[in-house]
Amino acid sequence: MALDSKSFRDALVAYQAKRGRGAWAELESASGVNSSLISRIASGSVQAGLSSWERIYKACPKEFPPPSFSIEGSSQQKRAFPTTEPNAIIMEIDFVSIPVFNAGAGEPSHFTDGDTPLGVSDEYIPVPASKVDENSFAVRVQGDSMAPRIVQGDIAVVVPSRHPEQGKVCFATWSDDPSGQRLIKRFYKYGNTVVLRSDNPDHEEITLDEHTGQHVRIFRVVMIVSVDV
């Protein structure tokens, strides 16, 4: 089960078509949700968070659908509204909490687990159980090399058991680096060469061959959770 964000994204596109260039500023004023975040949700570059969707729906209930959840393999939906509890947890059983750590999106940054045990963190995030497995974790993005699609503070959900996909966002880790550098990049493979590419053209790509990539492990990012401001 997951948030059925397509209906919300379609409503945002329709809202902008009706109101024109100032649509996102107008919606920010009404809902308190940052206009940059609204733009990124509308473009499909990030997935809508429940909090943002709720705030926009409450501000403009005639323009937007209430938050809903789609159940995989079924057309059935569970509506989040109406509810008398503004922070109600909806169908909590279908979500799991995974630990959140830090990762770079610019130059390689240093990862730290704060000396906590494996899989333990000071921060956790709930994600749809269908998206992850027991070894999944999340990393909070640092830097601007993946902007504007992924910005500092966004959270990337990583599933180590899944291989990266061509052109998709990935998480790279250097196992031979004692300081633990980690990166969020876009994955490309050409024969025996792997290229880790930034969305921001101001940042150089990283090329890994059979020698330089020997100690680099690359995993699939299955979801980006936007900064909910």
Mean pLDDT score, 58-73: 75
Question: pTM score, two decimals?
Answer: 0.58
pLDDT at 64 over 60: yes
pLDDT at 76 over 60: no
Tokens of 94: 């279908």
CA–CA gap between residue 195 and residue 170 (Å, rounded): 11
Mean pLDDT score, 70-76: 38
More confident residue, 98 or 69: 98
Q: Which range among 68-77, 84-93, 133-142 has the greatest average pLDDT?
A: 133-142
CA–CA gap between residue 157 and residue 136 (Å, rounded): 7
Mean pLDDT score, 200-225: 92
Q: Do 95 and 126 meet the contact criterion of CB atoms below 8 Å apart?
A: yes
Tokens of 219: 């995993």
Q: How confident is the model at residue 86 (pLDDT cuts 50, 70, 90)?
A: very low
pLDDT at 2 over 70: no
How does pLDDT run across 98-129, given as a tens digit for each residue?
Answer: 888 876 444 333 333 334 344 456 678 888 88
How does pLDDT run across 157-202, given as a tens digit for each residue?
Answer: 999 999 999 999 999 998 776 556 789 999 999 999 999 999 999 9
Domains of the chain in start order, with CATH, are: 2-79 (1.10.260), 101-225 (2.10.109.10)
| CA-based R_g, the chain, Å | 19
Mean pLDDT score, 45-56: 81
The strand order across the sheet containing 2-3 reads 2-3, 68-70, 77-79
